[in-house]
Amino acid sequence: MTIDHRRPSGTLFGVRRADSAEGSRAAVLGVPFDMGSHPSRVGGRGGPAHIRAASLLVAESAEDLGVNPIEALDLVDLGDVAVTSGQVEEAFGRIAAEVAAILDAGAMPITLGGDGAVTLPQLREAHRRHPDLVLVHLDAHTDAYDLFEPQEYNNANSFVHAAREGIVDVPRSFHVGIRDTELADRPGVIGFAEELGYRVCAMRAVRERGVSSIVDEIRETVGARPVYLCWDMDVFDPSVAPGVVTPAWGGLTTAEGLDLLRGLAGLEVVVFDVNTVSPPHDLRDQTGSLAAHVVLEFLKAVVERSAR
CA distance 92 to 83: 9
Contacts of 280 (CB under 8 A, 6+ apart): 41, 43, 46, 243
- Give the pairing type, strands 174-178 and 268-275: unpaired
Provide the pLDDT for residue 42: 82
Provide the pLDDT for residue 182: 60
Domain 12-307 architecture: 3-Layer(aba) Sandwich (3.40)
Provide the pLDDT for residue 8: 46
Provide the pLDDT for residue 152: 85
Q: Give pairs for 58-65: CB < 8 Å, separation 24+.
A: 58/13, 58/289, 58/292, 58/293, 58/296, 59/1, 59/3, 59/13, 59/14, 59/292, 59/296, 60/3, 61/293, 61/296, 62/1, 62/13, 62/296, 63/1, 65/296, 65/300
Where do the domains of the chain lie?
A: 12-307
Residues 279 and 288: beta-carbon distance below 8 Å: yes
CA distance 22 to 101: 9
pTM (two decimals): 0.94
Provide the pLDDT for residue 86: 86
For 86: left if phi > 0, alpha if psi spans -120 to 50, otherwise beta; the answer is left
Contacts of 308 (CB under 8 A, 6+ apart): none
Provide the pLDDT for residue 5: 39
Distances (CA, A) of 277 to 19, 34, 37: 25, 11, 16
Distances (CA, A) of 21 to 12, 26, 121, 283, 302: 15, 7, 19, 33, 17
Return per-residue pLDDT of the chain as tens, 308 residues.
Answer: 444 433 346 999 999 999 999 999 999 999 999 987 766 778 899 999 999 999 998 988 776 667 789 999 999 999 999 999 989 999 999 999 999 999 999 999 999 999 999 999 999 999 999 999 999 999 999 999 987 766 788 888 999 999 999 999 999 999 999 996 666 556 688 999 999 999 999 999 999 999 999 999 999 999 999 999 999 999 999 999 999 999 999 999 999 999 999 999 999 999 999 999 999 999 899 999 999 999 999 999 999 888 77
CA distance 133 to 268: 10
